[in-house]
């Protein structure tokens, strides 16, 4: 069996170290040099000939993170790696997965093409914004589910009147899967947008009075939708409301919005590193989940056991 080596890009270094530790070996040696104009030049500081290489990097904007990953893939292929697996905990540009208006890009498909053209043999990611993005790839893709991290945490809270909520219609399937697992009800927050990152109106479909509500989503950006949903839910008589979200993009006034919100807490993972501290934000690590997936892939085992 080919030797396994794990390397990290600049952006996801802390998560990569944790994944490698959970896997049982240190990160490989990789240097990413930069010219004075910002041009990047990655080089492997050890032989990777004939090895199965796992390159860990979330493709969170700026575009440098995606380009850096592509350059690492290209360098690994040219160094005669046996297989190159791009581990992308957060797959950026996933919100642009279709033409929802004329003359726009389907960026999620373009990013898939870029990664495949760079030479990736396999992709490993977590909670894509839309599951059908898997079909944009013509190579194997392991789509891990954040529920493996969140379900044990939610069980530890032992909320007496638990109910799940989708912050928008697009998240109904995600919230329903949690509700089905916990054998409780769910509600939906129906929102209308005038433009990106701005909610014009919202209403709650379902009964939340006296309930401990948990909002479920795949990512949180400016936190406008989530905070608005939490406010309306509390106005409807809910006992408490918290949010469980895989990817904490947290841009713009997100931290301020969350601090000033009625949310009991926001639970996210470390697929994207936090830029600020917040008493209301709890971070759970996906490192063990990815380490187990790497073990399964390299051992030609099924990853189904990782799903709840």
- Cite the active site residues: 191
Nearest to 59 by CA among 124, 144, 119, 103: 124
Place of tokens 């000939």: 49
Distance CA 35, CA 39 (A): 5
The residues facing 172 across adjacent strands are none
Q: How far is CA 133 from CA 91, 113, 137, 202, in A?
A: 10, 12, 8, 27
Q: Give one DSSP letter per residue of 114-175, joined into a string.
A: HHHHHT-SEEEEE--SSGGGGGG-SS-EEEE-THHHHHHHHHHHT-TTEEEEESSGGGHHHH
Contact 213, 241 (CB under 8 A): yes
The four Cα atoms 278, 90, 224, 266 give a dihedral, to 10 degrees, of: -40
Distance CA 43, CA 20 (A): 19
Contact 56, 9 (CB under 8 A): yes
């Amino acid at each position: 069996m080919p030797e396994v080596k794990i390397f990290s890009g600049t952006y996801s270094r802390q998560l990569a170290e944790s994944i490698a530790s959970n896997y049982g070996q240190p990160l490989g040696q990789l240097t990413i040099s930069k010219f004075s104009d910002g041009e990047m030049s990655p080089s492997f500081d050890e032989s990777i000939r004939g090895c199965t290489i796992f390159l860990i990097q979330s493709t969170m904007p700026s575009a440098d993170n995606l380009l850096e990953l592509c350059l690492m893939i290209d360098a690994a292929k040219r160094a005669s790696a046996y297989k190159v697996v791009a581990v992308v905990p957060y797959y950026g540009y996933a919100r642009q997965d279709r033409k929802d208006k004329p003359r726009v890009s389907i960026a999620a498909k373009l990013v898939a093409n870029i990664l495949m053209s760079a030479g990736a043999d396999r992709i490993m990611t977590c909670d894509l914004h839309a599951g059908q993005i898997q079909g944009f790839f013509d190579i194997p893709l392991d789509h891990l589910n954040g529920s493996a991290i969140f379900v044990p945490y939610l069980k530890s809270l032992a909320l007496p009147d638990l109910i799940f909520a989708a912050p928008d219609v697009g998240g109904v399937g995600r919230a329903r899967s949690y509700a089905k697992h916990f054998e409780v009800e769910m509600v939906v927050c129906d929102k209308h947008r005038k433009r990106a990152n701005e909610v014009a109106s919202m209403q709650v479909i379902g009964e939340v009075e006296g309930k401990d509500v948990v909002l479920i989503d795949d990512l949180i950006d400016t936190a406008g939708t989530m905070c608005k949903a939490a406010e309306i839910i509390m106005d409807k008589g809910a006992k408490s409301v918290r949010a469980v979200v895989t990817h904490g993009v947290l841009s713009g006034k997100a931290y301020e919005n969350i601090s000033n919100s009625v949310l009991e807490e926001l639970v996210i993972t470390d697929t994207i590193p936090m830029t600020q501290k917040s008493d209301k934000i709890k971070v759970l690590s996906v490192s063990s989940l990815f380490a187990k997936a790497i073990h399964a892939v390299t051992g030609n085992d099924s990853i189904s056991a990782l799903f709840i």
